[in-house]
């Protein structure tokens, strides 16, 4: 299942607009990455299995729905840190994992494949759990493919990917390799340039978030 700009909540579209704006300063950029993490998590909750629980109120009994399966939020360092903060704010009982996976040498002249350098990985046990992978930009898909390959080895029940912006090429590449993965993106852009950047996109999310 894919959410894009034509289907997503208008509030998410407004946040995407602020992230795209080149005048947005790093502090506000981080705040809006956190907010997009909040809102996309609300959307992702629609795909989670729930169970009915019962509580006593001051005047009687009431039922409510609760997420049934344990969740692990996996952050792709470094750009996803503010966005993951928003995800964990909505899912405070989730466990957290980190993976430092970044682009290395370009493997295609058109910028659609890169070698991935992984310098650190700490992912909790995933079997029978929901894995939510957070990465603001799904561009060529090389980083996400590498990450999903590591995650699949642990046999999670479901994998959900949250992105602020995705390229059409990156989505199709992931869906071809992992058709069972749910991708939720605040916006989908058609163009990917020769450097592997999404156009119009929002630039380098890590650089803009951390003023580098």
Break the chain into its structural domains and give their ranges: 2-210
What pLDDT is recorded for position 109? 82
pTM of this prediction exceeds 0.95:
no
What are the residues whose beta carbons fall under 8 Å from the beta carbon of 179, sequence distance 6 or more? none
Q: DSSP for 25-63?
A: -HHHHHHHHHHHHHHHHHHHGGGS-EEEEEEEETTEEEE
- H or E element: which one contains 76? strand 71-76
What CATH code would you report for 2-210?
3.40.50.2020
Render each residue's pLDDT in the chain as its tens digit; 212 residues: 455 444 667 889 999 999 999 999 999 999 999 999 999 999 999 889 999 999 999 999 999 999 999 999 999 988 899 999 999 999 999 999 999 988 878 788 888 888 888 889 999 999 999 999 999 999 999 999 999 999 999 999 999 999 999 999 999 999 999 999 999 999 999 999 999 999 999 999 999 999 98
């Amino acid at each position: 299942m894919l959410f894009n700009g034509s289907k997503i909540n208008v509030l998410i579209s407004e946040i995407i607009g602020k992230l795209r704006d080149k005048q947005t300063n790093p502090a506000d950029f981080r705040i809006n990455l956190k907010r997009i993490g909040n809102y996309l998590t609300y959307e992702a909750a629609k795909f989670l299995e729930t169970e009915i629980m019962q509580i006593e109120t001051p005047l009687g009994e009431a039922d409510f729905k609760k997420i049934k399966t344990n969740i692990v939020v996996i952050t792709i360092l470094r750009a996803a840190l503010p966005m993951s903060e928003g995800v964990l704010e909505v899912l405070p009982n989730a466990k957290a994992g980190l993976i430092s996976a970044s682009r290395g040498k370009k493997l295609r002249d058109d910028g659609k494949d890169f070698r991935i350098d992984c310098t650190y990985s700490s992912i909790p046990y995933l079997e029978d759990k929901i894995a939510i992978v957070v990465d603001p930009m799904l561009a060529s898909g090389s980083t996400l493919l590498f990450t999903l390959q590591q995650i699949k080895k642990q046999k999670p029940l479901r994998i959900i990917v949250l992105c602020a912006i995705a390229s059409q090429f990156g989505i199709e590449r992931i869906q071809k390799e992992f058709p069972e993965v749910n991708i939720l993106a605040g916006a989908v852009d058609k163009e990917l340039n020769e450097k592997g950047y999404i156009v119009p996109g929002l630039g380098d999310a890590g650089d803009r978030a951390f003023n580098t």
